[in-house]
Amino acid sequence: MCYIIMMHTSRPFMRHQNDAFNFLSTRGASPIFMEMRLGKTLTAIRWLLGRRVLVIAPYPVMDSWDKELEFEGIHDRAVLRGNKKQRLELLNSGKQWVVTNFESAERLEVHKHAWDAVVVDESIRIANPKSKITKYMLTKFSGVPSKIVLCGLPAPEHELQYLTQFIFCHGNFMGYKNYWSFRNAKYMQAGFDWVAMPNVKRDIMRYVHEHAFVLSRKDAGIGSKKICTTRIVKMNADQKRQYRAMRKDFEFGSRSEKNVLGQITSFARIAGGCSCEEPHILISDEKLKELVYLIKHELKGQKVLVWCRFKAEALEITRYLFDRGIYSIRIDGDVPVERRIAKKEGFEKQDKVNVAVLTIASSAKGQDWSVADTAIYYSNEYSNDLRSQSEDRICHPKKKVPMLIIDLLTESSIDGKVLKILRDKSFDSRLFMSQLIKELKI
């Protein structure tokens, strides 16, 4: 049974959220570095109530902001989706809360509007001082009274990644208003690298913990519950073309059950980013890009299971990760039992191998994968039993930390409908497909 954090209308703060709220209240603005699903979004919303707020977030989490605002009864909001004209109309509608993504922020010149507060979600995306979005954020919002950055990354890849996030919030970091002046004063160049002077790293971490609210899931002390969340990615042009063609050709009632199931399977392949036509080549890497982001940033250094339905997906995932410097193991139906054991041991014991890519059919039952605390569903089998069994692979009676379940969903695809049925325990495997067909309105 999944515990979906704060998914009801009367949502009392958990203790750590109250601590974060009080931290914000005593400082006026601050970075909030809390790991995924500890409730940093709700904390920021409640602290900013009554103000006109701009939220800049990655596209996959815009839907989460929309839902959180809805749960809080905030209807005076605009989530900027659609073409540029539609987004501009929403932006100019004068809503109290406006949510946009990083790619749209500069194009729509959101800085020209009057804001009481700006929230940057997943602020690691403004950590690179050379990037266009970082320069935009640092130069165009200096006059906004309240600024908050939210990030699920208590320990980034490099301590210098903290700088621009603090400079955006407070205007300085340890008294330095510029990334480059801080680096030149505190680091020495060694070839192409910059090496911290004695005690600098210690001083940075002390400063971060004094001037930001930092919390991991382990330290939150909320027990070994399952916490569920979703990340929604866009459908690209190739996916839309194949999806439309499949819908047009799909006429339930005029075809055999075998053909119906085959076409629903094709919907699933398209949602996963593979062509519905043989040999099922990759036509979209949107889910893969989001997967890489999660592994490299939000879940950095953690053991992670990646569940998928198709062998072709498992192969594409492992190739894509390897090309980006992420080592993983892959287990699907073609891997012999003895090789599975060796691969599993490598995942459990090797520090550099933090990702296990598993097909649900091959690994959902009978194995202990509890060395991982996080499971990411790239795609799903159409079985409530297999979903429950696969989720339980990361459970262990001795665990004291919450387990995180993340579903990657492709917008306007079959993914959301499948997940809805999987979360409804009243549908067994016998009823699953009939309910899915109803959900598809076929």
Each residue's pLDDT tens digit, 21-41? 999 998 878 899 998 778 899
Please state, in angstroms and rounded to a whole number, the distance separating the CA atoms of residues 317 and 282. 10
Domain-embedded: residue 314:
yes
pLDDT of residue 301 exceeding 60: yes
- Nearest C-alpha neighbor of 152 from the set 262, 234, 40, 1: 40
Q: How many structural domains comprise the chain?
A: 2
Q: What confidence category does residue 429 fall into, taking pLDDT thresholds of 50, 70 and 90?
A: low
pLDDT of residue 292: 97
Point out which residues pair with 305 in neighbouring strands: 356, 375
The two three-digit tokens of residue 237, written as one number: 């042009």
Cβ 146 vs Cβ 115: under 8 Å: no
CA angle 318, 322, 324 (to 5 degrees): 125
pLDDT of residue 6 exceeding 70: no
Region 29-56: what's the mean pLDDT?
Answer: 92
The two three-digit tokens of residue 128, written as one number: 């690179």
Higher pLDDT, 177 or 337: 177
The two three-digit tokens of residue 6, written as one number: 């704060």
The CA-based dihedral angle spanning residues 40, 42, 43, 47, taken in that order and rounded to the nearest 10 degrees: 140
Same domain, 216 and 236: no
Residue at which a domain ends, from 220, 255, 278: 220
Same domain, 377 and 299: yes
pLDDT of residue 256: 45
pLDDT of residue 314 exceeding 60: yes
Sheet strands (E) in 281-410: 304-308, 327-331, 353-359, 374-377, 403-410
Same domain, 230 and 215: no
Of the candidate ranges 148-152, 206-210, 393-397, 425-429, the one whose mean pLDDT is the lowest: 425-429
Domain-embedded: residue 8:
no
Percent helix, strand and coil across the chain, each rounded to 5?
A: 45, 20, 35
Whether omega before 279 lies within 30 degrees of 0, making that bond cis, reads yes
pLDDT digits (tens, 9 = 90+) for 226-276: 889 999 999 999 999 998 888 776 654 444 444 677 888 889 999 999 988
Q: Give, to the nearest 10 degrees, the angle between helix 179-186 and helix 163-170.
A: 130
Same domain, 182 and 239: no
Residue at which a domain ends, from 184, 203, 220: 220
The CA-based dihedral angle spanning residues 310, 393, 62, 321, taken in that order and rounded to the nearest 10 degrees: -50
pLDDT of residue 221: 75
Residue at which a domain ends, from 197, 220, 243: 220
CATH classification of the domain holding 25 = 3.40.50.10810
- Cβ neighbours of 185 (radius 10 Å): 12
Region 156-165: what's the mean pLDDT?
Answer: 88
pLDDT of residue 2: 44
Average pLDDT, the chain: 89
The pTM for the full model equals 0.79
pLDDT of residue 382 exceeding 90: no
Q: Which domain holds residue 111?
A: 15-220
| Contacts (Cβ under 8 Å, ≥6 apart) of 49 | none
pLDDT of residue 154: 58
Q: What are phi and psi of 339, to 5 degrees?
A: -70, -35
Cβ 284 vs Cβ 273: under 8 Å: yes
* Sheet containing 226-233: order of strands: 226-233, 403-410, 374-377, 304-308, 353-359, 327-331
